[in-house]
Amino acid sequence: MATSLQQVRTGTAQTDEAPKSLMEMLTSPKTKRGIQSLAGTFLTPERFLRLAVNAISKTPKLLECEPNSVIGALMTAAALGLEPNTVQQQAFLIPYKKSKKVRGQWVEAYECQFQIGYRGFITLAHRSSHIDKIEAEAIHENDTFEHMQGTESFLKYKKALTNRGPLIGAFCYVRLTNGNEMTLVLPLDDIEKIKGKSETLTSLTRAVDEAKDDYSRAKAQKKLDETPWVLWEDDMAAKSVIKKMAKFLPLTPGEAFSSAAQLDADSESGNVIDLSAMADVDKTKAIMSGEEDICAIEHSGGEEEEPPVSMNETETARETAPAREQAAYTARSATRHRTPPQNDVNGGFGGLD
C-alpha cells in the first residue's frame, strides 16, 4: 500500500524495503540524505520535505508521474533553494501526460517537469554575488520606453498606469557589483518565438484546434486560458528576457542563477530536461557545479514520442466528455445562440528613470 501523506508528516512511514511508490521514495533514507546534502542556506531539509508533501497534496497527478521524475524535480528545487508549488510562485512541479511507444505499443504515462517562475529567477539573481540590482519588465505600446546602445547608451522606462496597450517587448536591466551595467531588450517577435517553444501552450492550442465538437473545444479552451502565457503574459515575457540575459552575464560557472536558466522546462530551446537523472544526488551536484551538462531526454531505440500534452491538476485537454455530459452541453447550446545585449560593460548608461 502506498505511504500516506500523514505517515510522511509524522515520520512513521515504513522504509525497510525497496521503495516503489513516489511517497515511499520521498521518505526513503536515500532521498532524505539527498535533500539533506542539497538543501542549505535557504531551505532546511525538514522544511523542504514539508513543502514536497504539500506540493503533492495540492497536485495529486504528481502521484501518477514516473516517481524518479518527481524526485528529480524536487532535488533540482532543493539544489536551487526554491520553494515548489507555493504562493511565492518561485518554482512549479508540473505533471505532463505523454504518449510514447513502448515495445511497439503506444501507451500514456505521466512525467513531472520543473518550471521556474518569474519570481524564482528574480530571487536567484538577488542571491548572486555578481549582481547588485536586476529589473525586468514587459513593455506595452503606451508605456514610455527609450533605449540606446553604444558610447552614449541609456535606458528610460515609465509604465503607463492605464490603457497600456498591447505587449510590444520586454527588457532586463542588470547592475553588477563592479558597477558595470547591462541591458537586454527583446522585441515582440523574439518573445513570440520563445512563447512558441512552450510545451504547455503548444499542446493545449493543438487540443483546441483538433477538438471534434463544441463541448471538447470549450473544455480545451478553458485549459488554454489558464496557462501562464495567457494568464500572466507580462511575467512570462519578463521571465524570457531574464533567461536570455543570463547567457551574457559574467557569472561564476555553476552559479544557481545561470543553472536555473538551463534547468527550466519552459525552455527557449524546447528541450525537455531528463529529471529522472536529477534524482541522482551526485548527478545533480555535478550539473549544478557546471561539471556536467544538463540532461536532455534522449529517444533511444528509434522509438519516437508524441509531443507531450500538458496537464493541470485534472484530466488531459484531449479527453472526450462522457456521453451524458456531451448531451447536456448540446442541449444547453441549442437554447442559445533577441537582439545582442545592449550593454556597455566598460562604461555606464543613464539607468532607469
- How many Å apart are CA 300 and CA 314, to the nearest integer? 30
∠ CA 213-233-111, nearest 5°, is 65
- How many Å apart are CA 300 and CA 313, to the nearest integer? 30
User: Comparing C-alpha atoms, which of 219, 244, 231 is closest to residue 326?
Assistant: 219
Mean pLDDT score, 80-93: 90
- pLDDT score for 346: 33
DSSP 186: E
pLDDT in tens, 183-235: 999 999 999 999 988 877 888 898 899 999 999 999 989 988 888 889 899 99
The b-or-e profile of 225-258 (16+ CB within 10 A means b, else e) is eebbbeebbebbbbbbbbbbbbeebebeeebbbb
- pLDDT score for 139: 98
Residue that wins the pLDDT comparison between 247 and 327: 247
Which bin fits 96, alpha (ψ -120 to 50), beta or left (φ > 0)? beta
- How many Å apart are CA 200 and CA 316, to the nearest integer? 11
pLDDT in tens, 121-140: 999 999 998 999 999 999 99
What is the grid cell recorded at 58? 495540492
Which range scores top for mean pLDDT: 40-54, 89-103, 112-126? 112-126
- pLDDT score for 20: 67
* Alpha-helix residue ranges (DSSP H) falling in 170-322: 188-195, 199-210, 214-225, 228-231, 233-246, 256-263, 281-288
User: Comparing C-alpha atoms, which of 99, 97, 94, 89 is closest to residue 114?
Assistant: 94
Least confident of 94-98, 146-150, 259-263, 325-329: 325-329
Residue 275 has pLDDT above 90, yes or no: no
Mean pLDDT score, 267-279: 69
Residue 322 has pLDDT above 70, yes or no: no
Cα distances (angstroms) measured from residue 157 to each of 160, 186, 338: 10, 14, 19
> Which band of pLDDT confidence, cut at 50, 70 and 90, is reported for residue 314?
very low
| Sequential DSSP letters for 212-244 | SSHHHHHHHHHHHHTSHHHHTHHHHHHHHHHHH
pLDDT in tens, 181-195: 999 999 999 999 999
- pLDDT score for 37: 84
The structure's pTM equals 0.72
Average of per-residue pLDDT values in the chain: 77
pLDDT in tens, 55-66: 998 889 899 998
Give the residues across from 96 on adjacent strands. 111, 310
| Sequential DSSP letters for 125-161 | HHH-SSEEEEEEEEEETTSEEEEE-STT-EEEEE--S
